Amino acid sequence: MKFMMMMHANGSGWKTSGIGTWPAADIQAHIAFMIRFAQELRENGELVAAEGLALPDEAKIIRAKPKTGEPVITDGPFAESKEFLAGFWIVDVPDAARAYALAARASAAPGKGGEPMNMAIEVRQVMSAPPVDR
């Protein structure tokens, strides 16, 4: 079963109290944890994909222009949003319980001063299409 584990960050505090304000050693420890976590998932054969994402102010919303299909680009999706998607993992695990256990480990990644962040990790099953008769 595939699950997407999505790491959410607090948008209002990201630059004023979030990782942008941490000492360099704490940022390095957090990133090292994430690298080790991904490596462990890869070694276990559970990791399908994992990526950190740019901050929301770099995001764009794209819609197809009626009739021509050309892209219409607008700035950043959720200016008033309290949280944003900071990164994700897609894992292939036997059941939801394993995905939840992995999400809890990711949630406890070290933060400022090495304290567990206990950040929100949203877990959703990746759906597959039904078989198509040919």
Residue 38 belongs to a domain: yes
Establish if 132 belongs to a structural domain.
no
Q: Please check whether residue 76 lies inside any domain of the structure.
A: yes
Is 133 within the bounds of a domain? no
In a domain, 29, yes or no: yes
Global confidence as pTM: 0.82
Q: Is residue 131 a part of any domain in this protein?
A: no
Domain that holds residue 87: 2-125
pLDDT at residue 52 tops 60:
yes
Mean pLDDT across 79-86: 72
Number of domains forming the structure of the chain = 1
Residue 21 has pLDDT above 90, yes or no: no
**Pairing of the two strands 2-10 and 83-92:** antiparallel
Is residue 70 in a domain?
yes
Give a yes or no: residue 9 inside a domain. yes
For residue 111, pLDDT beyond 80: yes
List the CATH number of the domain containing 50.
3.30.70.1060
Query: Would you say 84 and 11 are in contact if contact means Cβ atoms under 8 Å apart?
Result: yes
Mean pLDDT of 87-114: 96
Least-confidence region, from 79-88, 92-101, 106-115:
79-88
Distance CA 27, CA 21 (A): 9
Cα-Cα-Cα-Cα dihedral of 30, 36, 37, 39, to 10°? 150
**What DSSP letter does each residue of 57-116 carry, written as one string?**
GG-EEEEEPTTT--EEEEE-S-TT-SEEEEEEEEEE-SSHHHHHHHHHHHHT-B-GGG-B
**What helix, strand, coil percent values describe the chain, rounded to 5?**
30, 30, 40
- Indicate if the pLDDT at residue 50 is higher than 90: yes
